[in-house]
Amino acid sequence: MEPDPHSDFHSSETGAPFRDCISCGLPFDHAPETPYLVAKSYRRGECIFEYAICEDCRTSMSREFSRDSRQALNLFFQERVNLSERSSLLSHQYVPAPWIQKCAACEKPRNEAESYSLGGMLLGSDMIYDPYPLCLCGNCEEEIQSLLSPGTKGIWDEFVDTHFDGPPSNLEDLPVKGRPVLF
């Protein structure tokens, strides 16, 4: 059997596709029109943090971010991520692998990064391409975190406190302390 090309975006906990939104509980198979973001963070090859969030929750959460933080994030992606090169990947086949083989910002190969995060937008079992799916290495995540205002970091921390049973034991090892940067 062919391996599922989207398996990087399945839950590492269950081995199956994510079933519902971490925030509102929306079951994705009941909402085939609602895209959702899958975010996963790895350290030394092991997934230590993961969730899926529906587009509606993601939008309302990012609206709470400070204007400065949103601008800083946009600027980082404009200046540091080669979006046109990524778009040209579309002329190849629609599989996630080439999109996530290296850090989208510094181009460090994923398999050489001590920690990294993956983000992918899905609609049902389909992947939505460009600019996602993408990979950011731990160093670049740290850089992004440093751009965020204390208020925006607080929103992340609250998100993690609310939705995870205490931070996973090794979350503190992540450069960004479990504050997702792919959003």
Report the interface residues with Zn ion, using CB under 5 A: 21, 23-24, 26, 54, 57, 103, 105-106, 108, 137, 140
Which residue number, 21 or 134, has a Cβ lying nearer to Zn ion?
21
User: What is the DSSP secondary structure assignment for residue 107, as one 8-state letter?
Assistant: -
Closest CA to 22 of 178, 132, 129, 176: 178
Which residue number, 4 or 97, has a Cβ lying nearer to Zn ion?
97
Cβ 169 to Zn ion shortest distance, Å: 25
Cβ 120 to Zn ion shortest distance, Å: 16
Cβ 2 to Zn ion shortest distance, Å: 30
The span from the CA of 100 to the CA of 119, in Å, is 9
Which residue number, 5 or 32, has a Cβ lying nearer to Zn ion?
32
Three-state DSSP state, 6: coil
The span from the CA of 56 to the CA of 14, in Å, is 24
Cβ 1 to Zn ion shortest distance, Å: 32
The span from the CA of 153 to the CA of 129, in Å, is 27
Which residue number, 106 or 155, has a Cβ lying nearer to Zn ion?
106
Q: What angle do CA 7, 51, 67 make, to 5 degrees?
A: 125
Cβ 26 to Zn ion shortest distance, Å: 5
Q: 162 Cβ partners below 8 Å, 6+ apart?
A: none
Which residue number, 5 or 24, has a Cβ lying nearer to Zn ion?
24
